[in-house]
Structures are given as C-alpha cells and as structure tokens.
Amino acid sequence: MSVFTRSQAERESLLLPELAELTAHHRANSAGYERILASLGIEPDASFGAIAELPWLPVRMFKTHDLKSVPDDEVFKTLTSSGTTGAGASRIHLDKAAAGAQTKQLGATLQEVLGGERLPMLMVDTIGIIKNRRSFSARGAGVLGMANFGRKHTYVLDEDDKPDVEAVKRFLAEYGDKPFLIFGFTFMVWQYLYEVAREHRLDLSNGILIHSGGWKKLIDRAVDNAEFRRRFTEDTGLHRIHNYYGMIEQIGTVFLEGPSGNSLYCPDFADVVIRDPETWQEQPVGRPGVIEVVSTLPRSYPGHVLLTEDLGVYQGIDDGDWPGKHFTVLGRLPKAEARGCSDTFSGAAA
C-alpha cells in the first residue's frame, strides 16, 4: 500500500492532531523537553493551528543533550550519529515499539519504488564497513539498514576499498536480466559504480538505485543531480534512480526522490517546512530557507519536529509525481547560522 497518497490539505488535517498529541506526550515524559517548551513560553494547553506552528527543536540539540521520553529500562537501542561536525554525536533512544515502527515505515516508503519482494542487491561499499562493530559508523548503519531490503548481497568494493569488477560482473551475469537493487552513498556510487560500469561497459538497465549522502564532492566535479541521472542512463542504462534525504535523528523517515527526479517527497506520516532564516516564517514555493522535518514516528524521544542545518526550497505543492509538498536540498547552512539556530534553545535545556 502506497505511503505517498496525501494531498497537502489532507496531510495538514490528519497529521496536525497527531503531532500536537506527540508534543504533549513528549512534554509529559521528557523533563528536558518540558523545560525547553516552558522557557519558550509555550503553555501546556497551547493549541496549534497548523503544522508550521508546532515548536521545533534544532537537530543539534541531540548532540548536546540526552533527550528521551521513555524510562531508562525501556530503552531497547541507542543510535549514535557519526559526529563529524565537531559537536559530538547525536544520541537517539528507541524503545522496542519505536524500533519496530521505524523499520516498518522505512520499508513501506521504499516499497513504493522497490515493489514487494526482496531483490538481489549490489552494495556500493565494502563488507568491512559492517564487520568492524567497534567503530560502527553512520555509514555502516546505513548499509546494514538497507541490506534488509535485498538478498544475495554483493559488495562492489573488496576489503581494500578497491572496485571488485569481477564480482560485479558475476552478479550481473546471474541477476542482471531482472530487476535488482543498488544501494550506496552518492559520491561512492559515482566513483565506484558509475565510473567502473562506464569503463567496463556494464549493463545496469534493470537496476533500481537508492542513494543518499550529499553532493558536495560531486559538485566539485561539476556533477549535479540532473547530470548524475543523465550520465548513468546514457552510459549504463540505469534509469530508475532515487535519491533520499533523511537523518539518524528522525530514523525511519526518509524523503524520497520521485521517478522524474529533482524533487524529494514526504511520505504520508511526515511533512517538511522551509523557514526564512531571519523571520522563521514559512517560505513560499521557490524561495530558499532552512529545512524543518516533521514526522509522527519519533515517540520514544522528542524528535517529531526538527530544524535541520540544511537549506532547501519548495519546488511545488500537489503538482509533482506524488501529492504534497516536494522540495530540493541546496546544501548545509553556514556554520554561524547553524549555531544561531540552536542558540535560541541553549539555555533552556541545560
């Protein structure tokens, strides 16, 4: 069953009461979150007229504060981000129900483009990334999480991080005549799959590529999303390509690129708000701002309304491949602006 069905008006009317209830739930169960809302002057009986009126937390707060809405003895799993930005790692606490919900909803989201069966899978990474659990990274967690959606996993890189061309050729000889899944982080997919496939004239035309991880390294090579898609299609036959946007602080919620490319869409249980970085009001279509991500999934920690440190822009509303708002990510906020976003809250949750 599709999770890309709700128009923006339906989403607003159905998600708003659920999100307001989640705000009250987290306020009642997380002392830190309650202090934040109280310091902002938000009364316990406050009502909200729109999703954009809900109070947000800067995503950075999960790097500096331990926020959870379940007792310690109910924490089933604690996820940590890579912490590469220098502000430490985010800590996300899940109970069993939350862990189950995020796995189920991620599966429902990806099923939109993968179909119902687990496909043979090319992993554009090395098996070493999931072998060394002591230094388990966000990248390793992403690879391991996506592995659940495929079978007959073949890794494109050997344990020395070199392309294993023969392994890829064997995989394609066995599974390449029917749909198969490809997963990897954007830069690695370009460097280790596209360039190898072009050089060795590999046919990827039955592949479905799911990729994520930012464009900075590729922009330096003059490869944007449109060029990425065009070159893959022309040189390898691969044309079913879906970028996604998501973060560990809202685990299980991903914003998926539609079939025609260039726009990310919200699943039915999520939404996005693009905010003016000076007034914090919602921006109209076409005007860039700071991305806020909204999801009904986070129940074990107050991560349901998060202000990210990324810039984005609405491409349209109810006029794309799927209903609702669709948007693109333009890149990271400058560091000073990102810090400014969270300074508002820094005293509140100390």
For 322-332, b/e burial (b = at least 16 CB within 10 A) is bbbbbbbbeee
pLDDT at residue 234 above 70?
A: yes
- Give the C-alpha distances (Å, rounded to integers) separating 186 from 82, 183, 217: 17, 9, 9
Question: What whole-number distance in Å separates Cα of residue 246 and Cα of residue 252?
Answer: 8
Average pLDDT, stretch 250-271? Answer: 92
17 contact partners, CB below 8 Å, separation of at least 6: none
CATH T-level topology, domain 8-74+263-332: Luciferase; domain 3 (2.30.38)
DSSP, res 210: E
Confidence band, pLDDT 50/70/90 cuts, at residue 126: confident
pLDDT at residue 342 above 60?
A: no
pLDDT at residue 78 above 90?
A: no
Report the pLDDT value the prediction gives residue 141, as an integer from 0 to 100: 65
**pLDDT, averaged across the chain:** 86
Whether the CA torsion 302, 315, 240, 3 is positive or negative: it is positive
For 43-67, b/e burial (b = at least 16 CB within 10 A) is eeeeeeeebbebbbbbbbbbbbbeb
CA-nearest of 41, 190, 42, 58 to 124 is: 190
CB 90 within 8 A of CB 83: yes
Q: Considering only 93-97, 316-320, 344-348, which range has the smallest mean pLDDT?
A: 344-348
Average pLDDT, stretch 41-62? Answer: 91
300 contact partners, CB below 8 Å, separation of at least 6: 68, 69, 70, 74, 75, 93, 94, 95, 97, 98
Portion of the chain with pLDDT greater than 90, in percent: 53
pLDDT at residue 144 above 80?
A: no
Report the pLDDT value the prediction gives residue 12, as an integer from 0 to 100: 96
CB 271 within 8 A of CB 290: no
Report the pLDDT value the prediction gives residue 177, as an integer from 0 to 100: 95
Q: Considering only 4-13, 116-125, 228-237, which range has the smallest mean pLDDT?
A: 116-125
pTM over 0.85: yes
- Over residues 154-186, the pLDDT tens digits come to 999 888 888 999 999 999 999 999 999 999 988
CA-nearest of 275, 324, 253, 251 to 109 is: 253
Which range has highest mean pLDDT (56-70, 86-100, 300-314, 328-342)? Answer: 300-314
pLDDT at residue 338 above 60?
A: no
- Over residues 279-335, the pLDDT tens digits come to 999 999 999 999 999 999 999 889 999 999 999 999 999 999 999 999 999 888 876
Average pLDDT, stretch 72-97? Answer: 73
Every domain of the chain with CATH number 2.30.38.10 lies at 8-74+263-332
Q: Which residue has the higher pLDDT, 127 or 285?
A: 285
Angle at the Cα of 37 from the Cα atoms of 33 and 41, rounded to 5 degrees: 165
Confidence band, pLDDT 50/70/90 cuts, at residue 129: low
pLDDT at residue 103 above 50?
A: yes
pLDDT at residue 131 above 70?
A: no
Average pLDDT, stretch 122-131? Answer: 76
Q: Considering only 15-19, 138-142, 290-294, which range has the smallest mean pLDDT?
A: 138-142
pLDDT at residue 339 above 70?
A: no
